[in-house]
Amino acid sequence: MNRFIIPTVSIIVGVAMIFPIYMLFIGSLRSETHVFDIQLWPTEFEFANFVEAVTSSHLLRSIMNSLIVSTSVTVIAMLFHAMSGYALARFQFPGKNVIFAWMLSTLMIPFAVIMLPLYLITKNLGMTNSFAGLIIPAIFNAYGIFLFRQFYREFPKELEEAAYIEGLSQAGTFFRIALPLSMPIIAPLTIGFFLANWNSYIWPLIITQKETMWVIQVQLANLVGGGYVTPWNIVLAAAVIAALPTFLLFFFMQRYLVEGIKMTGIK
């Protein structure tokens, strides 16, 4: 009997999980008067909604901003975190344990708690309404360092020792040998970092007041919570456009995403 019950229940729950996303897509194709219709298959396809969504707000601009921010944060974070994780896993130097413990201790500081002082500091550094303000504070995160350290501790030493004996410096060994072989950790972390930064809302909201500097999440939130009322079909069309990059990433990189999630849980 289980052979039927488990798959049936799984599919029903699974369909329930994706149903709201389906409704988002369907709603984005309907006209303003039919947006709430209950039919499961659209009888009309208002592709004009997407044109309207793009022209009625700075949607493309904010998507570009998000792409620039998420990509920069991810690339720089991967490099810095890999370097630190490697140093902590492989090098002997005074203060190593203190530095590592101190880095880990920063994980206990919730973002919500430091948002005001962080704003004041970044403002004093002249970084409001700028890419620097959106990007630089988002790079530093002890969790990435921790995961890279774990990875390099398990990483076989032989290749690096060979390179070292051949006369490559330790820095050279890292950049030429270890880093290029680190894809098993870089791939899932890249997906995780990119998604997290694409999702980021509070910090961009605080640090950017100029609409030209808004990221996509701030732009979208403004469509539903702003002073004027945007029709639902346009809001949904904008949300679909904004969701496309993450959905594409999700479908093509799902394996790495799952790897990354497992890593978080195993710790």
Residues 20-49 close enough to bind another protein by CB under 8 A: 20-21, 23-24, 27, 36, 38
Q: Using the rule CB under 8 A, which residue among 120, 159, 181, 183 binds another protein?
A: 120
- Which residue lies nearer to another protein by CB, 103 or 186? 103
Is 189 a binding residue for another protein by CB under 8 A? The answer is: no
Q: What are the DSSP calls for 61-101, one per residue?
A: HHHHHHHHHHHHHHHHHHHHHHHHHHHHHH---TTHHHHHH
Cβ(215)–Cβ(61) under 8 Å? no
Q: Using the rule CB under 8 A, which residue among 17, 97, 156, 210 binds another protein?
A: 17
Spatial CB neighbours of 263, under 8 Å, sequence gap ≥ 6: 147, 188
Closest-CA residue to 180 (of 155, 197, 161): 155
- Contact letters for another protein, residues 223-252 (x by CB under 8 A): xxx------x--xx--x--xx--xx-xx--
Q: How far is Cα 191 from Cα 246, in angstroms, rounded to an integer?
A: 10
The least distance separating another protein from the CB of residue 136, rounded to whole angstroms, comes to 7
Q: How far is Cα 175 from Cα 211, in angstroms, rounded to an integer?
A: 40
Residue matched to tokens 């490697």: 86
Choices 13-21, 51-59, 67-75, 180-188 (CB under 8 A): range interacting with another protein? 13-21
Give the pair of three-digit tokens for residue 190. Answer: 């890249």
Is 9 a binding residue for another protein by CB under 8 A? The answer is: yes
Measuring CA to CA, how many Å separate 71 from each of 40, 89, 147? 37, 26, 20
Is 195 a binding residue for another protein by CB under 8 A? The answer is: yes
- Which residue lies nearer to another protein by CB, 44 or 225? 225
The residue count for binding another protein (CB under 8 A) is 91
- Contact letters for another protein, residues 142-181 (x by CB under 8 A): x--x-----------------------xxx--x-------
Number of other CB atoms surrounding residue 151 within 10 Å: 20
Is 64 a binding residue for another protein by CB under 8 A? The answer is: no
Number of other CB atoms surrounding residue 71 within 10 Å: 16
The least distance separating another protein from the CB of residue 173, rounded to whole angstroms, comes to 10
The least distance separating another protein from the CB of residue 225, rounded to whole angstroms, comes to 6
Is 185 a binding residue for another protein by CB under 8 A? The answer is: no
- Contact letters for another protein, residues 69-108 (x by CB under 8 A): -----------xx-xx-xxx--xxxx-x--x--xx--xxx
The least distance separating another protein from the CB of residue 247, rounded to whole angstroms, comes to 6
Cβ burial 175-204 (10 Å sphere, 16+ → b, else e): bebbbeebeebbbbbbbbbbbebbebeebb
The least distance separating another protein from the CB of residue 45, rounded to whole angstroms, comes to 18
Residue type, 226: G
Is 133 a binding residue for another protein by CB under 8 A? The answer is: no
